[in-house]
Amino acid sequence: DQQVKQNSPSLSVQEGRISILNCDYTNSMFDYFLWYKKYPAEGPTFLISISSIKDKNEDGRFTVFLNKSAKHLSLHIVPSQPGDSAVYFCAASAEITGANNLFFGTGTRLTVIP
Partner 1 sequence: DAGITQSPRHKVTETGTPVTLRCHQTENHRYMYWYRQDPGHGLRLIHYSYGVKDTDKGEVSDGYSVSRSKTEDFLLTLESATSSQTSVYFCATSREGSPLHFGNGTRLTVT
Binding-site ranges for partner 1 (CB under 8 A): 2, 4, 6, 34, 36, 41-46, 49, 89, 91, 96-107
Pairing mode, if any, of strands 108-113 and 86-93?
Answer: antiparallel
Task: Give whichever of 69 and 97 is closer to partner 1, judged by the CB atom.
Answer: 97
- Phi and psi at 24, nearest 5°, equal -125, 150
Helix (H, G, I), strand (E, B) or coil at 83: helix
Residue placing its CB nearer to partner 1 in the complex, 30 or 36: 36
Residue 88 Cβ vs partner 1, minimum distance, rounded to whole Å = 11
Q: Smallest distance, Å, CB 109 to partner 1?
A: 12
Least Å from the CB of residue 38 to partner 1: 9
For residue 77, the minimal CB distance to partner 1 (Å) is 18
- Please enumerate in sequence order all residues whose Cβ is within 8 A of that of 105, keeping only pairs 6 or more positions apart, or say none: 2, 4, 5, 6, 23, 89, 90, 91
d(CA 86, CA 10): 10
Report the residue number, 75 or 105, with the smaller CB distance to partner 1.
105
